[in-house]
A and B are shown apart, each in its own frame.
Chain A
Amino acid sequence: MEADYKVKLEVFEGPLDLLLYLIKKEEVDIYDIPIERITNQYMEYLTLMQMLNLEVAGEFLVMAATLMYIKSRMLLPADQQVTDTETEEGEDPRWELIRQLVEYKKFKDAGLQLGQREEQQANIFSRGSPDAGTEVDKDIPLAEVSIFDLINAFNEVLKKASAREDFREIIEERFTVSDKIEEILYTLRDRSEMIFSELFATASSRAEVVVTFLALLELIRLKRLKVVQVEAFGEIQVLKVA
């Protein structure tokens, strides 16, 4: 992969967001997290984020270590657990994390509901609307889907691409993010939307998938495209921004 074009994308979501995302996606009980399964998934996402050169916060690595630690403690039979002074005897090693997740989720939900109020409020006008004329360009949501939804979709495409790769001739191809940006915009020249997976329909290698995905992220950041997802974990659509 050509490193000519570095996509700098700040991720404001943290490890707790990723865990909540996985818990929802896997439809597991937050109070009884299957730690092995979730840890594996977590690591998979972390690898993908690193591969995409996203600015992964150090907290993601700390959480990875925490998950590993909990996983290792869960493997020990109860009578051989090391009881450190702070935790009560026989306490589930997952408990501290669960408590943190549950508290965080309450705030996350409160934030979502605030977002709904904001949406309702956008339809209500008053004399001398106080917000008019203020700087509007900051803090545009990256997408109408979370970064983890995008990475999830990317992961699926990547898996398919890897399977396909085996049966192809080896041709040396070079893709750059800027070329892919042109290509995506060209595809969308006379239509307003396309399905996420369509972007990768012609991609012949993992490298091409990665470059295409980076091009998409960059176009979203530049506000040329936006992505929406109608149902949770459903197909992601790519729309042209008018």
Chain B
Amino acid sequence: MTLELKNIIEALLFSAERPLSPKEIRAIFAEATDEENPGMSEPFRNVREAQIVATLDELKAECELQRHSYQLVEIAGGWRLVTRPEYAPWLKKLLDEARPHRLSPPSLETLAIIALRQPISRADIAAIRGVEVDGVIKTLLERDMITIVGKSDAPGRPMLYGTTQKFLEHFGLRDIDDMPKAAELRLQAAALKTAEQKMEEAKAKATDAGSSGSDAAPEAVAEVKATPHPDPLRPGHDEVASRGLGSPQGERGEATGGQGRATPQPDPLRPGQDEVASQGLGSPASEVEEAISAGLSDEDEDDDEYEEDEDEGEEDEERE
């Protein structure tokens, strides 16, 4: 009997209690040995991630095709077998409804702000919501939906919050870009980060220190470095560019290049395998680039965006 890659992966997914990423699966293949029969595990030792991703796709299609009671979904940067919604009435009985209560609208909305603008401080969340958020933040921390990801360099060094892996799992999200309105709302955040990073650079130059002394979410800084600079001075968004900045005027002169458009927009449904591999908890640069390239093309319509524009995403793709 010969084993197939597909069967092994299926067995892994079947018994896993968390989403498995292709990278993790590859690591398992690299390490596993069948001691009684080494010949069995050897052929899979060097299986490539691309192969694993292709197999996962195949398994997913098979679940659909054969009308299994379960489906294979991409969630929180990995893959997971879950039941189909139509079986909920019985499963709820079996599992005794031991699920946490749903979040209240103010919590959901605060969570959306944190997810799309992370890392973000309480004060910045409160500025968007127009009201204090202490109570809501406490609940979200207790529910493990958000966590402290660092400290800001702003006066008082406030805590910065970001979303957790559990947040993605709770909402069945693949990654942050899978969020509703992600492209539109994350763009401004990316512009802000770029502006912040420029300041960091300026500071670094001034003090001639390699590290700018920022211990606030180092991965966020790295992320910004890899980001093409969008024009942070989009009309009507001056406040985004200038918020939290010492000298917005200084930004004006140098940042009007707007070279962000060069990034091709990847198909959101099928990101390249390398991206899948790197999509961990944080937000890798590729995500931000995606958000920028997706968002930039609709900047002219900014004022009309209040009217729900569901087709936006499709339009963007067509323009590419």
Interface of A toward B, CB cutoff 8 Å: 10, 12-17, 30-31, 57, 59, 63, 99-100, 102-115, 117-142, 146
Q: Select A16's contact among B129, B172, B305, beta carbons within 8 Å.
A: B129
Q: 0/1 per residue, B291-311, Cβ < 8 Å to A?
A: 000000000000101101000
Q: Which chain B residues border A117 with CB–CB below 8 Å?
A: 171-173, 180
> A104's contact among B82, B83, B129, B180, by CB below 8 Å, is which?
B129
Q: Which residues of A contact B83 (CB under 8 A)?
A: 124-126
Contacts A12-B136, A120-B85 hold; do A135 and B172 have CB atoms under 8 A apart? no
* B81 located at the interface, meaning its Cβ lies under 8 Å from any Cβ of chain A in the complex: yes
Interface residues on B, range: 35 or more
A102-B306, A129-B99, A139-B139 given; A110·B179 CB < 8 A: yes
Q: A140–B106 Cα gap in the complex (Å)? A: 11
Give Cα A142 to B18, complex, Å. 32
Q: Whole-angstrom distance from the CB of B276 to the nearest CB of chain A?
A: 19
Asked whether A30 lies within 8 Å of B185 as measured between CB atoms, the reply is no
How many Å from the CB of B88 to the closest CB on chain A?
4
Subset of 10 A-B contacts with CB under 8 Å: A10-B135, A12-B135, A14-B131, A124-B82, A125-B95, A132-B98, A136-B101, A138-B143, A140-B101, A141-B105
Tell me the B137-193 residues at the A interface (CB within 8 Å).
139, 142-144, 166, 169-173, 179-181, 184-185
- The interface residues of chain A lying within 8 Å CB-to-CB of B128 are 103-104, 107
Instruction: Report the minimum CB–CB distance from A92 to chain B (whole Å).
Output: 13
> Are B107 and A110 touching (Cβ within 8 A)?
no
Q: Is the CB of B85 within 8 A of A124?
A: yes
CB distance from B94 to the nearest CB of A (A): 9
Which chain A residues border B106 with CB–CB below 8 Å? 12-13, 17
Q: How far is the CB of B298 from chain A (nearest CB, A)?
A: 13
Which residues of chain A have C-beta atoms less than 8 A from B236's C-beta? Answer: 99
Apart from A107-B109, A111-B108, 17 more pairs, CB < 8 Å = A12-B104, A14-B130, A14-B132, A15-B131, A57-B132, A110-B109, A110-B116, A110-B179, A111-B110, A120-B85, A123-B85, A125-B87, A126-B80, A128-B17, A132-B95, A133-B98, A139-B143
Interface centre among B139, B180, B181, B184 (most CB of A within 10 A): B180
B108–A106 touching, CB < 8 Å:
no
The answer to whether B185 touches A118 (Cβ under 8 A) is no
A59-B131, A139-B143 as given contacts; A115 in contact with B172, CB under 8 Å? no
- CB pair B102 A115 closer than 8 Å: yes
A119 nearest CB neighbor, chain B only: B102
Chain B residues near A139 (CB, 8 Å)? 101, 103-104, 107, 139, 143
B195: interface (CB < 8 Å): no
Q: How far is the CA of A30 from the CA of B306 in the complex (A)?
A: 9
Contacts of B130 in A (CB 8 A): 14-17, 59, 63, 100, 104
A120 to B82, CA, bound (A): 13
Q: Which residues of B contact A112 (CB under 8 A)?
A: 105, 108-109
Question: How near does chain A come to B255, taking the closest CB pair, in angstroms?
Answer: 21
B235-246 contact mask (Cβ, 8 Å, vs A): 1 or 0 = 010010000000
Residues in B with CB closer than 8 Å to A146 are 105
How many angstroms between the C-alpha atoms of A196 and B99 in the bound complex? 30
| B102/A118 in contact, CB under 8 A | yes
A130 to B19, CA, bound (A): 11
B166 touches A130 (CB 8 A): yes
Chain A residues within 8 Å of B110, by CB: 111
* B16, closest chain A residue (CB): A127
Bitwise interface map of B from 67 to 108 toward A, beta carbon under 8 Å scored 1, else 0:
000000100000011111101100100010011111111111
The answer to whether A141 touches B98 (Cβ under 8 A) is no
Whether A105 contacts B112 in the complex (CB less than 8 A), given A122-B99, A129-B99, comes out as no
Q: How far is the CB of B127 from chain A (nearest CB, A)?
A: 9
B185 engages A136 (CB within 8 Å): no
- Cα A158 to Cα B91 in complex, Å, equals 46
Tell whether B249 is near chain A: CB-to-CB under 8 Å.
no
Residues of A within 8 A of B181 (CB): 106, 109-110, 113
Give the contacting residue for A130; candidates B18, B142, B184; CB below 8 A: B18
The reply to whether A126 and B81 contact each other, CB–CB distance below 8 Å, is yes
> How far in angstroms is the closest Cβ of chain A from B106?
4
List of A residues within 8 angstroms of B102 by Cβ? 115, 118-119, 122, 141
Check A111/B111 contact, CB under 8 A, given A16-B131, A59-B132, A136-B100: yes
Given contacts A106-B305, A141-B104, contact A124 B172 (CB under 8 A): yes
Chain B residues with CB under 8 Å of A106's CB are 181, 184-185, 305
Confirm or deny: B113 has a beta carbon within 8 angstroms of a beta carbon on chain A: yes
CB contacts (< 8 Å) of A141 on chain B: these are 102-105
Q: From the candidates A16, A30, A113, name the one contacting B180 in the complex (CB within 8 A).
A: A113
Q: CB distance B95 to A135 under 8 Å?
A: no
